[in-house]
Amino acid sequence: MKPENLFFDTSGLDKDHAQRLTEEALTGSDDGELFMEHTLSESFSFDNNRLRAANFDTSRGFGLRAVKDETAGYAHSTDLSETAIKRAASALTPVISGHSGTVSDALAKTDTSLYTDTNPLEGEGFADKVKILEDINAYARAKDNRVRQVSIGLSGEWQAVAIIRPDGQPVFDVRPLVRLDVSVVAGEGDRQESGHCGRGGRAGYAKWLTPENWQGQVDEALRSALVNLDSVPAPAGEMDVVLGPGWPGILLHEAVGHGLEGDFNRKKTSAFSDRIGQRVASPGVTVIDDGTLPDRRGSLSVDDEGTPTEKTVLIEDGILTGYMQDRMNARLMGMQPTGNGRRESFACQPMPRMTNTYMLGGDKDPDEILADVKKGIYAVSFGGGQVDITSGKFVFSCTEAYQIEDGKLGAPIKGATLIGTGPESMQRINMIGNDMRLDDGIGTCGKEGQGVPVGVGQPTLRLEGLTVGGTG
């Protein structure tokens, strides 16, 4: 079904009527939109040799936003009807009353679609999906007699959105999203450790539910668990740190990316505020936010304000060149929106958010980078972390890391945390690998209570003299 049929065939509205309602509601505002959403989602949880939970959900509704100067009014409802929209409009009147503003100019439209409009929930049946989860569980347990627990999560989503602005034609987008996670706990004697591997993106289930894919995920999760079984307490102190390619880009996302979002910089609460044109990272460091990568978890054909996404260079050769912007913060800062206005659902206001944020590769062979470190650690994967946007300070936990001794990988370590500040750590980078890689499609970013799917990536990096918190 076409997305416009979802919204207009069953609501008593048509496109022209919805357009007129939006124009009337936002008269006198500086900006705003009517955002309509219809989402189907499902999730499966398999643990302890059986299906533990299966959920299916349908959500449908709209959000109406009016923006005046720095003030935004927002009303939303699950009742997608003319009556509900008019009621929402009346709630926004105090925001724009007494003003005669004009909604910002219309944005360029795009016909480009970065992903299929296929609904992943309409593919394999319920029994087929449960059978695949059973096969994954059996395969994992047969791989090694040290496997004590296998946990599997499978989720799929099909989201259709319509964005109606007073200054242009409605924009429609259909966004599929799937994810498969495999976690393995392995043990010897009284000790047990876990490993995890997740993959996903904007496509149907078929790509991830083939044996070639899920067997690889099981193998990787088991490998990680067995590595951690042999781990020793992590050292502590200031030392060189080598970050592996791909998922370790989550540190870049948290410690640097959030600080480059427009709202923090407009309010001057970011460590990067008022620093465009200044050096904020070592030479050779180029950081990009790119929402235009096909099928990637963080990609969008248009953002949640109707702006086409783009490839935005944030840091080029160590120099800060720009911020990620939604419409409101771009207008207030005298800049152009970059297609980074995102929201979790129709019940949430948009704000500047990352899409796929990564660092470009350099010219060093990864083995050369390791060989150059006399004593340090090599971090392959990260778990949780905390970041202070104002200061840029961060603390991140390593879920897989190794000692480096005389240029060679040593024993795996457990309990290592990386401690530093985003701007300072970016200037401690002194070697950049030629192996840039994006993550496997598992990132979710939280901000002000909203979660949105994102991507990260980077090459192998060496950081000089980073603080490592350890247990040894």
> How confident is the model over 130-150, as pLDDT tens digits?
999 999 999 999 999 999 999
> How confident is the model over 256-290, as pLDDT tens digits?
999 999 999 999 999 999 999 999 999 999 999 99
Strands of 111-261 (E only): list them: 147-164, 171-188, 191-201, 232-233, 237-243
Angle of CA points 145, 229, 237, to nearest 5°: 170
pLDDT at 199 over 80: yes
Distance CA 186, CA 147 (A): 4
| 129 and 202 share one domain | yes
Distance CA 43, CA 152 (A): 11
Residue with tokens 């948290």: 254
Q: What is the CATH classification number for the domain harbouring 22?
A: 3.30.2290.10
Amino acid residing at 130: V
Would you say 36 and 78 are in contact if contact means Cβ atoms under 8 Å apart? Answer: no
90-99, 154-163, 331-340, 407-416 — which is least confidently predicted? 90-99
> How confident is the model over 431-469, as pLDDT tens digits?
999 999 999 999 999 999 999 999 999 999 999 999 999
Give residue 191's region: left, alpha or beta (phi > 0; psi -120 to 50): beta
Contacts of 45-49 with C-beta under 8 Å, sequence gap 24+, read 45/151, 45/152, 45/153, 46/130, 46/133, 46/134, 46/136, 46/137, 46/150, 46/151, 46/152, 46/153, 46/154, 47/149, 47/150, 47/151, 47/152, 48/149, 49/137, 49/150
pLDDT at 391 over 90: no
| 189 and 251 share one domain | no
Average pLDDT over residues 319-346: 97
- Residue 101 is predicted with a pLDDT of 52
| 167 and 283 share one domain | no
pLDDT band at 107 (very low <50, low <70, confident <90, very high): low
Q: How many domains does the chain have?
A: 2
Q: Is 23 exposed, middle or buried (0-12, 13-18, 19+ CB in 10 A)?
A: middle
* pTM of the predicted model as reported, rounded to 2 decimal places: 0.94
Residue with tokens 């799929």: 156
| 137 and 249 share one domain | no
Residue where a domain stops, chosen among 205, 230, 255: 230
| 250 and 116 share one domain | no
Residue where a domain stops, chosen among 182, 205, 230: 230
Per-residue burial over 368-388, b if 16 or more Cβ lie within 10 Å, else e, is ebbebbeebbbbbbbeebebe
Give residue 167's region: left, alpha or beta (phi > 0; psi -120 to 50): alpha
| 138 and 216 share one domain | yes
| 202 and 331 share one domain | no
Which domain range does residue 432 map to? Answer: 236-469
Residue where a domain stops, chosen among 184, 201, 230: 230
Chain centroid, CA 320 distance in Å: 22
> How confident is the model over 59-93, as pLDDT tens digits?
999 999 999 999 999 999 999 999 999 999 999 98
| 123 and 201 share one domain | yes
| 159 and 242 share one domain | no
pLDDT band at 105 (very low <50, low <70, confident <90, very high): low
Average pLDDT over residues 104-112: 61
Would you say 112 and 93 are in contact if contact means Cβ atoms under 8 Å apart? Answer: no
Would you say 442 and 201 are in contact if contact means Cβ atoms under 8 Å apart? Answer: no
| 218 and 242 share one domain | no
pLDDT at 99 over 60: no
Distance CA 285, CA 260 (A): 15
| 197 and 242 share one domain | no
pLDDT at 106 over 90: no
| 315 and 399 share one domain | yes
- Bridge-based pairing of strands 237-243 and 375-387 is parallel
